[in-house]
A and B are shown apart, each in its own frame.
Chain A
């Protein structure tokens, strides 16, 4: 069973603060990791992905990956009320997967208050 765990929240931060979203996964052989944002009533949209240990930055977003600890995180700098959404962590499992499916966490609900 390939599990992806996220704190469901809600995580509440003030505008301008750094929001930190965390995700752990059970399959040590997992290869790549994706962060999606889902606004209420909408479908998920891709924010960024990471597959090498370390940090990857894209604008206000930074993904951090630590494969030894089986941990991936998403930092949102200068949080804005428009960042209020549910953030989904998704994992591509090891090379044995032939269907190409991602395994999703249940999501963390983020609220940024003005």
Chain B
């Protein structure tokens, strides 16, 4: 159980393009989903916390107008990178928690490797 599906797994596109990444919890309802970014050989960086039906909470330094997050249902959150530029190239990973208890881990999707040319 606790499967999180992320799509697409890889995107290569031109500078200025907007890219949408989907994150789905397949076998549980996820009140909260998280979006991370990871540059090569660096640690995970939390970008934002997404709660179903409300606005996402962004970490300091993350532009909310550039990284649009929508958590439309208890099983789906999307991250849209608007007008992407080469510096946005990175590994984007979503995660979801099954519940709100302290012993509930985050389950990660397989990640999306974004390359902006």
Q: Which residues of A contact B (CB under 8 A)?
A: 31-32, 34, 36, 41-46, 49, 51, 88, 90, 92, 95, 99-102, 104-107
Contact = CB atoms under 8 A, between A and B. Distances in A.
A32 B106 CA distance: 12
Interface residues of B, number: 24
Interface of B: 6, 31-32, 34, 43-44, 46, 49, 51, 57, 91, 93, 97, 100, 102-111
Interface of chain A, helix or strand or loop or mixed? loop
A49 B100 contact: no
B57 A45 contact: no
Nearest to A94: B102
A43 B102 contact: no
Interface of chain B, helix or strand or loop or mixed? strand
Nearest to A101: B49
B43 A102 contact: no
B110 A51 contact: no
Given A51-B102, A100-B97, A106-B43, A44 B49 contact: no
Contacts of B102: 31-32, 51, 92, 95
